[in-house]
Amino acid sequence: MSAQYNSHSQPPVAWRYSGNQLKRWRTKANVSREELAAAANYSPDTIKAMEQGVRMPTPRALDTADDLCRADGFLSAAKEYLQREKFPARAQDFMEREREAISLWWYEAMYIPGLLQTKRYAQALIENHVPPLDADMAEERVTARLDRQVILTERKPPVALCFVVYEAALRSSQVDAEQLHRLSQVSRLRNVVLQVLPFERAITAALLGPLVLLETHDHERFAYAEGQLGSELTAEPGAVSRATERLSMIRAQALSPDESARFIERMVDQL
């Protein structure tokens, strides 16, 4: 399965360079894109995307092209430098900013925030991804998600973290006692505030989907929103202001941290 880059920023340089070499060797050998696509069992549009650098050239495409174009291993050698990204392409810019964050507000409407997920919960989500991920990529994604959680305890100075979780996310069938205990455990950290937004307190802004606001060491503020077909990371002042206002309204409607802890404890008792 070949990863595709959908962000507004440039795709990884290794993708662009390898794709450019793929096109140059193919053109030099007078092999058409359609011939390469048929031999590698891809569509011509997929080969085109690889050559343009917006889709990662796969080992199969590189090996097939190396053979057809008589590249003597030069194209196949690129496989060593084309490791799959740990995160979906659309989220990579956000992950970079998350690593630089000194504070983070996170509201989730349908899922437990990634920084608070147990391995079992993360596996349940990632392994049921549509379209399906191959087993290796799914495992890499789970590991990468759990690795991000060092932000909770291992950053110095500590990152100020505030999470608000809509009750619908807690009621999901994937949420088990282990995941609820994990939320209780994290909520006791000194740098973490965890609040629950019950069904009866939901406001319109809370029903529009997840929203994240973060601030970097340079005191640059970003707003991030993710949907089914795309995501947006922006530092545009107007968008950041709107995100701040919405998150503030949601936090104001949510239960207090102590009330939220008791809410989660009652859910554990009901299991």
Q: Using 50, 70 and 90 to split pLDDT, how confident is the model at 89?
A: low
CA dihedral for 195, 199, 202, 204, sign (positive or negative) = positive
The span from the CA of 71 to the CA of 76, in Å, is 8
Phi-psi region of 31 (alpha: psi -120 to 50; beta: other; left: phi over 0): beta
The span from the CA of 51 to the CA of 25, in Å, is 11
Position 243 scores a pLDDT of: 96
pLDDT digits (tens, 9 = 90+) for 176-217: 999 999 999 999 999 999 999 999 999 999 999 999 999 998
Of 7, 114, 96, the closest CA to residue 55 belongs to 7
Phi, psi of 177 (to 5 degrees): -60, -35
Helices 44-52/33-40 angle, 10° precision: 110
Percent of the chain at pLDDT > 90 equals 74
Residue 261 has pLDDT above 50, yes or no: yes
The span from the CA of 28 to the CA of 186, in Å, is 58
Strands 160-166 and 192-197 turn out to be parallel
pLDDT digits (tens, 9 = 90+) for 235-257: 999 999 999 999 999 999 999 99
Mean pLDDT across the chain = 91
User: What average pLDDT does range 225-236 have in this prediction?
Assistant: 87
Percent of the chain at pLDDT > 70 equals 93
Position 129 scores a pLDDT of: 86
